[in-house]
A and B are shown apart, each in its own frame.
Chain A
Amino acid sequence: MSYKDSPYFHVGRATDLKGRDRVIYRLFEMVPGFLSGGTLIATIFLSYYFPVAAAVFIIAFDLYWLLKTLYLSFFLRRNWKRLKHNLALDWKAQLSHLKYEHIYHMVILPFYSEDFGTIEKGILSIMQSDIDLKKMIIVLAAEGKRGAEAQLIAKDIEGKYAQSFGHFITTIHPDGLPGEMAGKGSNISWAVDKARTEILDVQHIPYEDVIVSAFDIDTVVYRHYFNCVTWHFLTSEDPYHASYQPVPFYNNNIWDAPALSRVVAGSGTFWQMIQQERPELNVTFSSHSVPFKTLHDIGYWQRNMVSEDSRIFWNAFFAYNGNYRVVPISYPVSMDANLAPTFWETLKNIYKQQRRWSWGSENIPYLLFGFLKNKEIPLRKKIKTTFVQLEGYWSLATNPILIFLLGWLPLVLGGKAFNTTVLSYNLPMVTRNLMILAMAGLVISALAFISFLPQVTTHTRKRDKALMLLQWIFVPVTIIIFGAIPGLDAQARLFFGKYMGFWVTPKFHK
């Protein structure tokens, strides 16, 4: 029996299992929180009882952080160049060397309470793509739970734009189906299967010829997105064992969003840009594209958990015994930065969105459990993947706190004996100097951010432009409040079995 046919393949949480499996999975759920919380507690403990050891650890950690920052800045710069190049490239001309006319693009647009304008913006961007719209299959996926209002919006959109595309279908995902959690995963899985039975099967479109793009509803595509995906799909060595990952720009409303929101959004973009240069460490995130054949083969997105965007990668990874990868297309899609009617609400929404993303640590138990059960994956791959994923979630939740808050702890807790050592005097200075060097990476970030900003709106002032540069001084604050803390929050919930539900980021436009 292949892994995808096993009862473990679509497990969402420990409570989905029984007996020994349930205990093991539950223990694996505790791993991210244990590592992150354990690191912070151990640092406090060391600072009090063994301040010299704590200081040595902190200095070593500072150096690690500096080298890591420099290393990642190198990737950021390289991807910045690649993005610039890919944005300027005529992908239609690139495709002209290939046989591509048989390829269909199915775009899934799930929405919950978003308004007509938000949905229309995305649809219009698809219409402006340099592609044969007759090869487009638009799937507008409404939630039945949202009631008549959502269905009315869907009907209006369909009425206005359905004729522009080769195929258009509106789906209403029924509320409360057994084994499902309310969220994007269950909705888009329902929608894509509806599109299969009502369009692909009816029109006899081969599954192999369809690329599915699962978009967040605020996603606005650039003119050549679909051509770029097609080109990567057609030129990939093993196209059905890959997902195609764009870079999310949060540019739709960037001039309206407050500085803190822009910094958090920009940081997210940079992280994805860095990951594009390290595809062996990457998993799918947010809006992405997958071959329909693959999706159908593995049963679509998981319906019983929150982080369906990254889980689909792990599903495929285990289904194909580790033979699955992310193909970075180094081409952007644009989405909304967090923006609410008030500044405080915006901050709350940023926190909640970051916590939801950090809840991606729910993939850790799935991963560890899968490695235990799937004997076909090479051990080396299991070890490397485990290390990379654990390090990622551990870094997110602990590194900013270790650097900006706990770096001084041995001085506070270490007692007089420690405070008279040369080490105690050098600790803050070495930390400060290494951090100043590390922050030089921010200059690269600020310049990269500016270079991808959308056209200036009429009400944009000079002050706003200057703030786009100066805003990066908030990074030490944002990576703690909107990085480490929501990360710890999510991991603590997973540790204690307080499972999170899906939270829809509210969309607001000025």
Chain B
Amino acid sequence: MALFFVFIPVVLLYSIGYRLDKGFTLKSTGGLYVFYPESGAKVYLNDELTDQTSLFGRGIFIDNLQPISYKVQIRKDGYIPWDKNVNVVEKKVVEAYPYLVPEVMSTSSVPKFVTLGSGASVTNTLYGEVVKLFATSTSSTMTLKKVLASTSTALVAPSTGIIRKDIEIDIVDKSVIASWRGNIESTPFYFCDAERLVCDTELKVTSGNLKHVDFYPGRNDVIIYSTKDGIYATELDQRPPVNTRKLISGNLEFREKDNRVFIKDKGNYFELIFTASTTLNNAISI
């Protein structure tokens, strides 16, 4: 019983985030949580390697941090590093959800016909589906998206935008607006201030001469948009720096379906490949 009363304050204070500093003074600390869904991503804190994601540890929790600003960087071979300045708050955990884009984006063509092992040439079903995706204007694409979404993981709401996991994105007056459609309790941190005391329901992500916008494959906090210059990815997390990446240059159209991104270039169709492992330029089919 005596041991319990000796240890319990220590364990509780530790759990809440208190640590002894060098002068043996009790200080309140905070933490950082970084999640990257693949193994092998290195986490740097103020340019020092701190941890690395692994097969069984894709979420990394770094505790015992003084409540100051930190530069977080995620690096993985073959990908453009992702940076973010985060303000660590006492007794709180700030979150970071990096997305990594290959240094060299590759594409894979979607041909109209594919050749079977027997040598016979047949129509590529994927090609037909991709053509259908592009056979609409941007605004009607949105409608089509909603129909497609209802058969995949995304949700459909009575709105003009695209919804994925309670976040809606839409182009309004040449800006991409992200809106939180879930309950207030669950509002993601990027709709809130640093201490999460004030949260908004709308967020202006980017603006310009935008042609089309959609979600990044597998994410609801990263979007893809197209302009006359190319196709870009950017994040809803507006803490500096905002990581915007050019995926491909040119006045191209794109559509996203089932976590795959297709591009139309002068009547030819391609799929964007988001992995850095190999250079692909082969024809694909499903």
Q: Please, how many angstroms separate the alpha-carbon atoms of A145 and B33 in the complex?
A: 68
Residue A60 interfacial (CB < 8 Å): yes
* B196 close to A417 (CB less than 8 A): yes
Q: Please, how many angstroms separate the alpha-carbon atoms of A64 and B7 in the complex?
A: 10
Shortest Cβ gap from A13 to chain B (Å): 35
Binary B-proximity of A58-75 (CB < 8 A = 1, otherwise 0): 011001100100000000
Binary A-proximity of B86-111 (CB < 8 A = 1, otherwise 0): 00000111110000000000000000
Q: Which of A421, A422, A425, A430 contacts B11 (CB 8 A)?
A: A430
Residue A55 interfacial (CB < 8 Å): yes
Q: Please, how many angstroms separate the alpha-carbon atoms of A509 and B94 in the complex?
A: 61
* A59 close to B11 (CB less than 8 A): yes
- Range, interface on chain A: 20 to 34
* A423 close to B16 (CB less than 8 A): yes
Residue A236 interfacial (CB < 8 Å): no
Q: Cβ of B33: which chain A residues have Cβ within 8 Å of it?
A: 425
Shortest Cβ gap from B180 to chain A (Å): 12
Q: Which of B3, B16, B92 contacts A420 (CB 8 A)?
A: B92
Q: Which residue of B lies closest to A55 (CB)?
A: B15
Main secondary structure of the interface of A (DSSP, over half): helix
Binary A-proximity of B168-189 (CB < 8 A = 1, otherwise 0): 0000000000000000011101
* A63 close to B7 (CB less than 8 A): yes
Q: Cβ of A415: which chain B residues have Cβ within 8 Å of it?
A: 185-186
- Range, interface on chain B: 20 to 34
Q: Which residue of A lies closest to B28 (CB)?
A: A422
Q: Please, how many angstroms separate the alpha-carbon atoms of A64 and B6 in the complex?
A: 12
* B185 close to A422 (CB less than 8 A): no
Query: Given the known A-B contacts A64-B4, A67-B3, A415-B186, are A426 and B15 also in contact in the complex, defined by CB atoms under 8 Å?
Result: yes
Query: Given the known A-B contacts A415-B185, A417-B196, are A423 and B8 also in contact in the complex, defined by CB atoms under 8 Å?
Result: no
Query: Given the known A-B contacts A59-B12, A430-B15, are A422 and B92 also in contact in the complex, defined by CB atoms under 8 Å?
Result: yes
* B12 close to A422 (CB less than 8 A): no
Residue A475 interfacial (CB < 8 Å): no
Residue A439 interfacial (CB < 8 Å): no
Q: Please, how many angstroms separate the alpha-carbon atoms of A60 and B14 in the complex?
A: 12
The 9 residue pairs across chains A and B that have the minimum distance between CB atoms: A422-B17, A426-B15, A415-B185, A422-B31, A416-B186, A423-B16, A425-B61, A430-B15, A422-B91
Measuring CB to CB, which residues of chain A are less than 8 angstroms from any residue of chain B? 55-56, 59-60, 63-64, 67, 415-417, 420-427, 429-430
Q: List 17 A-B contacts (CB under 8 A).
A: A56-B15, A59-B11, A60-B8, A63-B7, A63-B8, A67-B7, A415-B186, A417-B196, A420-B92, A420-B95, A421-B93, A422-B16, A422-B30, A422-B31, A423-B17, A424-B93, A425-B61
